[in-house]
Amino acid sequence: MLLLALLAGGLVVVPGARPPCPCGDPSLCRPLSPTPKPVDEVVAFPAWQSYGAGLSELEYKLYDWTKITAIAPFEALGFDPVIDGVPANSTKNRNAQGLFCAAHAHGVKVLQWDDRSWTGTRCNASMFFEWAWASDPRVLNATAVRAWAAATAACVRSEGFDGVLLDAEGPCLEFGLSPNGSAACKLPYGPVRAAITSAVCELKAQLQLAVPGSEVHWAAGLPTGATFDYETLMARGCVDLVLNMDYCGSGSPACGPESRGSQAALGDINHTIDTYQGAGSKLVQRSQTRLQWQQF
């Protein structure tokens, strides 16, 4: 399988022994070509390990694949027998790989979301976020960013992904405690904010070279000028789709009883739309912006 090594210049993909494609048709282990371009996107987030109490890795067999255009698995699509201790021929590994095979068999894109691929490899598409959170100088180093983006794009192609989903939902790079013990929010300052924009655009450029037609989706919170430069990302075509992760609109227990029920969610959806429009009409005009759907 592919091994990922972090050297001074960035992320490097080191080739090694590779398992055979687990799909009935070996072509399903390659990126979809040409990548489908639906008018409307329905992105599913398989995450049974994190949220599926009482469920299993076979939940994908219940999907209506005719209504899904992409998946961004928040769980492993395969396991490394050494790191994870899961044998390649185990039922657990085959079941995890089955989600990947089923998606491509139905022409559904698979987006890399920093979890393991069907070979048990992690492409680390959002490493530049980690650099920003840690105040690592590499986030401001164009050479390091270019090396990371090229290695990530090569990994995405090798592992058969059709793009990536970047998960930066909140307005802060980092949460911590202020001296008085209250929650503190670390906003990206000017150079880091601009560097994040450049890193995403470099990643998109490298992905297009490695996997023509591949996409970058962004799972975001409500846009404000203090967070990320969404307008520039859209204007330059560096992000194809913004998904607002509006958990309160889905009746999340964390949002209180007033958010539950189909009618209660409508007010939250309206607030989300108003906020996006308030961030600038150009943002809405230049991008595809979608709301999260979850258990309505």
* Length, in residues, of the chain: 296
Tell me 279's DSSP state.
T
Looking at residue 205, its pLDDT comes to 97
Longest Cα separation, the chain: 59
pLDDT digits (tens, 9 = 90+) for 203-259: 999 999 999 999 998 887 655 545 788 778 888 889 888 777 655 555 555 555 444
User: Higher-confidence residue: 182 or 245?
Assistant: 245
Per-residue model confidence (pLDDT) at position 57: 74
If you search the block for the tokens 């970047």, which residue do you land on?
166
Is the confidence at residue 40, as pLDDT, over 80?
A: no
Predicted confidence at residue 262, as pLDDT, reads 43
Give the side-chain half-sphere CA count within 13 A for 254. Answer: 4
Residue position matching structure tokens 């085959």: 94
Q: What is the pTM of this model?
A: 0.78
Gap between the Cα atoms of 294 and 292, Å rounded: 6
Chain-centroid distance, C-alpha 83: 23
Does 173 or 34 have the greater pLDDT score? Answer: 34
